[in-house]
Chain A
């Protein structure tokens, strides 16, 4: 077989414990060759030293330092599930109690809604009373404000023109205000361009 010493790459095959075709003759040669055997032993010693190199540790807190720079993207469905999970009670008994409470409250509210819906006359009366009260309150308050700010003549004029007139007047005021703002801006930019 081998009438020469092993080549360096052949030593590597033995070091890496390869088992392919052609490796056995190498092993046979090493068994019979003192120099190659010694060379292989040295190489194995080196490999063993490399294998024993320790892992080194960075200072504490690497995860904290990294996470301050890493945005954690939570998909919406995961966030929703986590939110729901956070609101659930922790024990099965409490979850049962919560479910029962929700069922009772839900049933009462549903019954009440159905009852009101079947009593249309009661609903209309109630709505009318509430609406009338709100309308009267708003009108009274608005009237007091207008009289306080602009005097009783304006209040009379508003009553005469009605809601449509008031809306037109307010719209006209808004348009005039916007036109004033744009005009002033135009003047300011043009004067800046000239300078």
Chain B
């Protein structure tokens, strides 16, 4: 008796692998997990900063996506759909846990600097617990620690932009945000990171006033 033919899935585009999964090929399910387990885990881990929890949330993400694989529509990128669910899973957890983050920014819809300042606020920043400090060390560099201090919305945008190499349009589709909001979030995330990392720069140039005459 001949065995079920082995499919060469590694070289197929995502849409084809998803199509095979929709036809009940378990190998296609596993290929999708193999392709995206590291990117999804990386995103979730940097969002929630807890390895064991990230494993569970990553697993939940894949279970949700693959259980509803029949609902996937090929006009959208599979990776965008997957990261959207991963981000939602992470954000939902963060909301439940109510992690404290420090933000100096005002409303993303503020159109002038005065309005931004009027809508900005400071949250009491708790010092890192020993466990958080250990987790931050595990994540390694100063930049990882700085990322962990961003607001979740900014963190998701900056990670999708620079770790997953997504375009602004893809990020907007993934996070269900207007394109302008995505650009604002990334701009503010970069600004915040520069401020947080300022202390590690030796002889760094001090911050300029915006629009200061040259």
Asked whether any CB of chain A lies closer than 8 Å to the CB of B186, the reply is: yes
In the complex the two chains form, is B163's CB within 8 Å of A72's CB? no
C-alpha gap A86/B1 in the complex (Å)? 6
Residues 21-60 of B at the A interface (beta carbon under 8 Å): 23-24, 26, 29-30, 33-34, 37-39, 41-42, 45, 54-55, 58-59
Residues 40-70 of A at the B interface (beta carbon under 8 Å): 42-43, 46-47, 49-51, 53-59, 62-63, 65-67, 69-70
In the complex the two chains form, is A8's CB within 8 Å of B63's CB? no
Which residues in B have their C-beta under 8 angstroms from that of A36?
A: 214
Which residues in B have their C-beta under 8 angstroms from that of A132?
A: none
The distance from the CB of A131 to the nearest CB of chain B, in whole angstroms, is 41
Category for how many chain B residues contact A: 35 or more
In the complex the two chains form, is B24's CB within 8 Å of A35's CB? no
The distance from the CB of A34 to the nearest CB of chain B, in whole angstroms, is 9
> How many residue pairs bridge A and B at CB < 8 Å?
143
The distance from the CB of B170 to the nearest CB of chain A, in whole angstroms, is 14
In the complex the two chains form, is A5's CB within 8 Å of B33's CB? no
Category for how many chain A residues contact B: 35 or more
Which residues in A have their C-beta under 8 angstroms from that of B5?
A: 85
The distance from the CB of A22 to the nearest CB of chain B, in whole angstroms, is 15
Asked whether any CB of chain B lies closer than 8 Å to the CB of A73, the reply is: yes
In the complex the two chains form, is A62's CB within 8 Å of B214's CB? no
In the complex the two chains form, is B38's CB within 8 Å of A55's CB? yes
Asked whether any CB of chain B lies closer than 8 Å to the CB of A172, the reply is: no
What would be 29 A-B contacts, judged by CB atoms less than 8 Å apart?
Answer: A5-B213, A12-B183, A12-B186, A43-B190, A43-B194, A46-B197, A50-B143, A50-B193, A51-B162, A53-B163, A54-B42, A57-B37, A57-B38, A58-B54, A58-B55, A62-B41, A62-B55, A63-B29, A63-B34, A67-B26, A67-B29, A70-B62, A70-B63, A70-B67, A72-B29, A75-B24, A78-B24, A89-B1, A90-B1
